[in-house]
Structure 1
Amino acid sequence: MAKEYDVIVIGAGPGGMTAALYASRANLKVLMLDRGIYGGQMNNTAEVENYPGYKSILGPDLAEKMYESTIQFGAEYAYGNVESVELVADNLKLVKTDSDEYQAPVVIIATGSQHRKLGVPGEEEYGGRGVSYCAVCDGAFFRDKKVAVVGGGDSAIEEGIYLTQLAQNVNVIHRRDQLRAQAIIQQRAFANDKMTFTWDTVVKEIKGDGQKVTGLLVHNKKTGEDSEIEASGVFIYVGIEPMTEAFQNLGITDEAGWIETNDRMETKIPGIYALGDVRKKNLRQITTAVGDGGIAGQEAFNYLQTIK
């Protein structure tokens, strides 16, 4: 028999925990499910300097503090890799994991997104120690240093421009001989004297001294030559993917897999909400996920009042 709840939150990052906090504080029976430790990507962040209330805090420490706050009103937490969500009778949703089944009238999806990785040596080893996928999150750690940006789309160039406010030099490494970013963004980048461009080049390895990144080994596709580029930080923007495979059967995603919601975090299915990085949005930060979570948790309560 499926275990019964009022609200099931899939994903225990900052947005999911906030949604669970709001819903449980409204005296609802709430379950958070996650396939890993609570906190999500905060656990991979060395320092957080842009969350209100803390001048600086370690990502795992912020995750722990959020979790302690979340469970104070009775929200439960369980490990579980969600495989599907199915619609059943009487407004109920059946959530199937690899080990158990749960059901509730409300499901809040907070599974987030993940950056595509280069898949080269050094990328995993130096994650959080020079390898980053978020300039807004980590750019301040590379003040007056040389950094590299890998990619040529809007995100890569916009984040590269942002980094020029902090870094000594930003070297954009792109596998083609022209950028894919919008023309206006390209114009700003080419006009910025702190940005340089390495064309027709792919990264073969991210090099370091065992503690932090020191540079990159790159390969020029046209000349066939390998060379090294000095860099203290590497910001990778070769695409981002929503973690929505388990929800494809619901018809709530766009062609790229992002979940579409209104400003109340409602999907097209009553009782199913989505928040944070899994949504189609521009800024993916702890603060924006928390804001989404507060809305979704309150809307879950409002929805349940309508079906009683």
Structure 2
Amino acid sequence: MKPERIKVLIIGSGPAGYTAAIYTSRANLGPVLYEGIEPGGQLTTTTEVENFPGYPEGVDGNQLMADLRKQAERFGTEIRTGTITTADLSSRPFHIVVDGTKEIEAESIIIATGATAKYLGLPSETKYRGQGVSACATCDGFFYRKKDVAVVGGGDTACEEATYLASLCRKVYMIVRKPYLRASKAMQERVFNTPNIEVLFEHNTAEVLGDETGVTGALLRKNDGTETKIDIAGFFLAIGHHPNTELFADQLELDAEGYIKVEAGTSKTNIEGVFAAGDVKDPHYRQAITAAGSGCVAALDCERFLLR
């Protein structure tokens, strides 16, 4: 049986993938979007989104993604459940396999597979995800104004999140497993000069504590075995993100962290006809609105490529 031929294949269903779908379908390119393992992307793991323009009262993360999906479908995007299991980008049309069985030939591809926040792997952390446990201070910090919170990590991101939270919260604990911060000198100075940040060196989180209202504290274990409990309302992970690029690792140019490299100011990868959008190529901003904007860029780049 001959593989199905598709003009525009969009891989991923977060704000980047859906925005790319809205633009390519309005351009009459008949995009097909595969949702992947997390339909709706990272936003479906958060509750209230208050910083997406156009929602003055805020919006539930799932609702926002449902709205974007509906908009993409309205213009004719075909949205399918399924995960891309292999992608051969060595020649056009690109050869794609879905769920290990279905074969597709794509004239162009927009990769919007996102990045996954790294978690500690504690059952209690999973239990309170979205109820006090978060991997994005910029997204959720506002909900913890004048409260006590903790940030896990000792790198630049953790320091940045801690100083951001310190401007909103009463107190910020930094839980750092090493006896020092890995962050740059400037970031370290910023942390040490912020009076309401307390750095707890050589501590690991043993358990996130909570009740039916959400997170209430954390049980910390020092490297010498002693345990302490801190009272907090928010528990923020800042131990990095993992871009979902395994599928393309030996074909596309990636940076040292595994993010897809694109030509500056565009969505173009090192392979003609393959474009990247959203968190999969963005280790810096990781916001729904920047992902949506880059989905628009990828769609326009893709349209120009196909017209040429």
TM-score, normalised with respect to structure 1: 0.96
1:255 — aligned with what?
A: 256
For the residues of structure 1 that align with 2:282 and 2:140, how far apart are their CA atoms?
A: 22
Deviation at 1:87, TM superposition (A): 3.0
Deviation at 1:251, TM superposition (A): 3.1
**Does the aligned pair in 2 maintain the 1:84–1:95 contact within 8 Å?**
yes
For the residues of structure 2 that align with 1:4 and 1:88, how far apart are their CA atoms?
A: 17
SS in 2 for 1:6: strand
Query: Which residue of 190, 198, 202 maps to 1:188?
Result: 190
**Does the aligned pair in 1 maintain the 2:259–2:283 contact within 8 Å?**
no
**Does the aligned pair in 2 maintain the 1:38–1:67 contact within 8 Å?**
no
For the residues of structure 1 that align with 2:251 and 2:59, how far apart are their CA atoms?
A: 38
Deviation at 1:95, TM superposition (A): 1.5
Deviation at 1:13, TM superposition (A): 0.5
**Does the aligned pair in 1 maintain the 2:152–2:158 contact within 8 Å?**
yes
Deviation at 1:115, TM superposition (A): 1.1
SS in 2 for 1:124: helix
Q: Root-mean-square deviation (CA), in Å? A: 1.2
SS in 1 for 2:104: strand
Query: Which residue of 210, 213, 232 maps to 1:211?
Result: 213
Deviation at 1:300, TM superposition (A): 0.9
Deviation at 1:37, TM superposition (A): 5.4
1:100 — aligned with what?
A: 102
**Does the aligned pair in 2 maintain the 1:164–1:194 contact within 8 Å?**
yes
For the residues of structure 2 that align with 1:88 and 1:147, how far apart are their CA atoms?
A: 48
Of residues 136-145 and 253-262 in structure 1, the stretch that sits farther from structure 2 once superposed is: 253-262
2:157 — aligned with what?
A: 155
1:20 — aligned with what?
A: 21
User: Any gaps of 5 or more consecutive residues in structure 1?
Assistant: none
The amino acid that maps onto 1:155 is: T
The amino acid that maps onto 1:224 is: G
Deviation at 1:79, TM superposition (A): 1.4
SS in 2 for 1:140: helix
The amino acid that maps onto 1:239 is: G
Count of matched residue pairs? 304
2:81 — aligned with what?
A: 79
2:111 — aligned with what?
A: 109
**Does the aligned pair in 2 maintain the 1:154–1:181 contact within 8 Å?**
yes
1:134 — aligned with what?
A: 136
For the residues of structure 2 that align with 1:29 and 1:88, how far apart are their CA atoms?
A: 23
Deviation at 1:36, TM superposition (A): 3.8
The amino acid that maps onto 1:49 is: E
Structure 2 counterparts to residues 289-300 of structure 1, below 5 A:
289-300=291-302
**Does the aligned pair in 1 maintain the 2:49–2:139 contact within 8 Å?**
yes
**Does the aligned pair in 1 maintain the 2:266–2:298 contact within 8 Å?**
yes
TM-score, normalised with respect to structure 2: 0.96
**Does the aligned pair in 2 maintain the 1:145–1:167 contact within 8 Å?**
yes
For the residues of structure 2 that align with 1:133 and 1:142, how far apart are their CA atoms?
A: 14
- In the alignment, structure 1 residue 61 sits paired with structure 2 residue 80: no
